[in-house]
Amino acid sequence: MADWIDALSSGLFIILEPHRMVLLWGGVLCGLSLGILPGIGGVAGTALLLPFTYSMDPAAAMALLLGLAATTTHGDPISAIVLGAPGHAASAATALDGYPMTKRGEGARALGAAYMSALMGGLFGAALMAVALPIVRPLILFIGSPELLALSVFGISMVAVLSGNAPLRGLTAACFGMMLAMIGSDPQTGTLRWTMDSLYLWEGLPLVPLTLGVFALPELCDLLVARTSVVGTGKIQNNWKGLWQGSVDCFIHWWLVLRCSWIGSVIGAIPGISASVIDWISYGHAIKTEKGAQQTFGHGDVRGVIAAESATCSREGGALIPTIVFGVPGSAGMAILLGAFLMHGLVPGPDMLTKNLSITYSMVWSIAIANILGSGLCYLFSSQFAKLASLRYSLILPVVLCMVYIGAFEGKRQWGDLYALLFFGILAWAMKHFKWPRPPLVLGFILGAVIERYMFISIQRYGVTWTGRPVVMVLFGVSLLSLLGPFLKDVKAHGGIKGMLSDYHAPKYNWSQVFPLFLLILFSGMMYQAAQWNFYAKIIPGIVGTGAIVFCTLSLLNDVFKQGTHAQRSLERKAKGEVEEKIHMDIASTAGHLPAQTIILRGAIFFGWMIGFLCSMALIGLIPTVPIFIIAFMRVEASEPWKITLPMAIFMTLFIYFLFDQLLTIPWPGSVLGDFFPIVKDYIPSS
């Protein structure tokens, strides 16, 4: 034990060397900058910084890289909270409560809670890593594919609490997400599933354009539909007062921070489980365990922000454990970091826990100090971030949309990324206005391929005996209870099965039923194609697709035949001062007060601008399109003065050119101008 304490103190002195602290600062600044940009994330930044570490000593190189990795998530919640447009999957859950807080003038409080919970979660993850390194090896070795499968099933069971008052719709969306995750070449048989003869889909849909389409575009579209700012200037609270209040909230709810940080660290330490699901599992846990959460989460409850951010920012310490102990990276960022280990002569395994123990603990200190620096910088500039919510939509939308396009293009760096962004944006906007919860769709997509993979591995390796493993049985039991909970509550609310069956009458039709009909047609077409596949390639898609059709049909029949006595009963309960048990678990639309025709027309205008951007990009390239799009949007939509329009167009064009084209050297989509005029190709970066 004395050796470990000595190594811990030695690691601190190593990282406090001035030149290493400078590098740590540099990594923190890069991490925060990339975290704010939609879709870019820490993987691109880590890959960018890796070549610069060749001449550094191992501790200095790790300080630079971990400074970036540990703070990327600190910048994530800014756009999610201020604009309701999460730039990455890791901050999607934060938007559910952070954005409603901003709309009622409490954006600074939400940001303060996000930064403090991120700091506390990051420090917890680093502390857990320091304590767990000596004892974690046998625990990780015990986890096999059956346990990973059971954990993934437990994660998907969170759709029950993320579906609010529409469990059937939530299950339908989750099944649809799982079906989307199975697009591409089947890893077992090589069968091409739902690829529509498109080479882009052979390796499956990427997460980034789907996340941006599902969560970012609907909120941006509603800004244009409502034609207003996110919040009026008169509703914005004092920024520093709000930041302080949000920070205090984290200490008031310290037990929630501790629990969610534990969840983030533990799941982050398990290889094979996507880090993108951590915030959803933590958010679902908070809904189940916090008093009154089912009535307030999704409407601007600060506890929702705290739960999501503390778990997300604690994962980095947990993710380092299998990378250091076994050389098994749990994410793409950790895979790049593993390459940095080997490049600097650090061999994962016993050497990291014996000969290089001081360097190992310098990594722990790097994560801890980076979290402190990152949160401090966020606090410093938060007053400016919160003011973004008061800007006119015509100033926000063109800039954010340009960044969203670039972020989505980071999926596979193909035109298909942009088509996927547009498709999921339209789909999610319809889901939002028809009251279909969006979180289950993303959760199903993240975990769908994981569940299928570990299901096949478990069956091939263990037969059916894997179902009797203790951890598997416990997790399956908890998942079943989680899924059945909302239905049991529905039965109770109706006064039993008999009361439920009496709540139906002759059919009534309305326009909202068009959406589930569309989904049923889509699911039926997908199942028809699946019937022609290899037997082993269609087992899981067939089960999930059947579930999607059943749940969607039941939801549609419920809408058509429901009498409404339950709704009347709900009104009676409200009149008596009783509280509803469930809510619509999604961000409410800011345009709900407008007539349906106006909403549809302005929504079509928004997506028309997006299609116009794509057409211009195809003709002349992305970077030349940016100034044209910004000027056209600002002048046509709101007649913004030239003194504002021109500087903004010039600044954004130069910013995108130097950062993404020159520094990150992104290979832009091809364009007609670049293809037909190769002489000017070098002068048009997007060609």
Question: pLDDT tens, 388-399?
Answer: 767 788 888 898
Question: When comparing pLDDT for 338 and 198, which is higher?
Answer: 198
pLDDT, residue 230, reads 64
Looking at mean pLDDT, say which of 407-416, 437-446, 521-530 comes out highest: 521-530
| Angle 51-45-665 from CA coordinates, rounded to 5° | 75
For 439-490, how does the pLDDT look when each residue is reduced to its tens digit (9 = 90+)? Answer: 888 888 888 888 888 888 888 888 878 888 888 888 888 888 877 776 777 6
Strand-pairing partners, residue 192, are 185
Question: Are the C-beta atoms of residues 102 and 590 closer than 8 Å to each other?
Answer: no
Percent above pLDDT 90 for the chain: 15
Q: Alpha-carbon distance 151 to 39, whole Å?
A: 27
Helices (H), 494-534: 497-501, 514-530
Residue 504 backbone dihedrals phi, psi, to 5 degrees: -130, 155
- Given a cut of 60, whether residue 569 has pLDDT beyond it is no
Q: What is the mean pLDDT of residues 675-686?
A: 52
Q: Which band of pLDDT confidence, cut at 50, 70 and 90, is reported for residue 608?
A: very high
109-118, 164-173, 361-370: range with lowest mean pLDDT: 164-173
For 280-327, how does the pLDDT look when each residue is reduced to its tens digit (9 = 90+)? Answer: 888 888 888 888 877 788 788 899 999 988 888 888 777 777 777 766
**CA trace torsion 560, 565, 569, 571 (10° rounding):** 70
Element (H, E) at 193: strand 192-193
Question: When comparing pLDDT for 164 and 56, which is higher?
Answer: 56
The mean pLDDT of the chain is 80
Question: When comparing pLDDT for 505 and 659, which is higher?
Answer: 659
pLDDT, residue 292, reads 81
Q: Alpha-carbon distance 350 to 45, whole Å?
A: 29
Q: Which band of pLDDT confidence, cut at 50, 70 and 90, is reported for residue 404?
A: confident
Region at 660 (left for phi over 0; alpha for psi -120 to 50; beta for the rest): alpha
**Could you tell me what percentage of the chain is helix, strand and coil, using 3-state DSSP and rounding each to the nearest 5?**
75, 0, 25
pLDDT, residue 576, reads 46
- Given a cut of 60, whether residue 1 has pLDDT beyond it is no
- Given a cut of 80, whether residue 16 has pLDDT beyond it is yes
The three-class DSSP label of residue 508 is coil
Give Cβ neighbours of residue 9 (< 8 Å, ≥ 6 apart).
none
- Given a cut of 60, whether residue 237 has pLDDT beyond it is no
Nearest to 424 by CA among 180, 179, 96, 92: 180
Q: Which band of pLDDT confidence, cut at 50, 70 and 90, is reported for residue 611?
A: very high
Q: Distance between terminal CA atoms of the chain? A: 60
Strand-pairing partners, residue 562, are 504
Percent above pLDDT 70 for the chain: 81
Alpha-carbon distances, residue 233 vs 104, 362, 384 (angstroms): 11, 45, 13
pLDDT, residue 379, reads 83
For 622-673, how does the pLDDT look when each residue is reduced to its tens digit (9 = 90+)? Answer: 889 999 999 999 999 888 899 999 999 999 999 888 877 887 677 787 777 7
pLDDT, residue 271, reads 66
- Given a cut of 50, whether residue 683 has pLDDT beyond it is no
For 196-229, how does the pLDDT look when each residue is reduced to its tens digit (9 = 90+)? Answer: 888 889 888 888 888 888 888 888 888 888 887 7
Q: Which band of pLDDT confidence, cut at 50, 70 and 90, is reported for residue 42?
A: low
Q: What is the mean pLDDT of residues 527-554?
A: 90
Question: Are the C-beta atoms of residues 210 and 442 closer than 8 Å to each other?
Answer: yes
pLDDT, residue 235, reads 53
Question: Are the C-beta atoms of residues 92 and 80 closer than 8 Å to each other?
Answer: yes
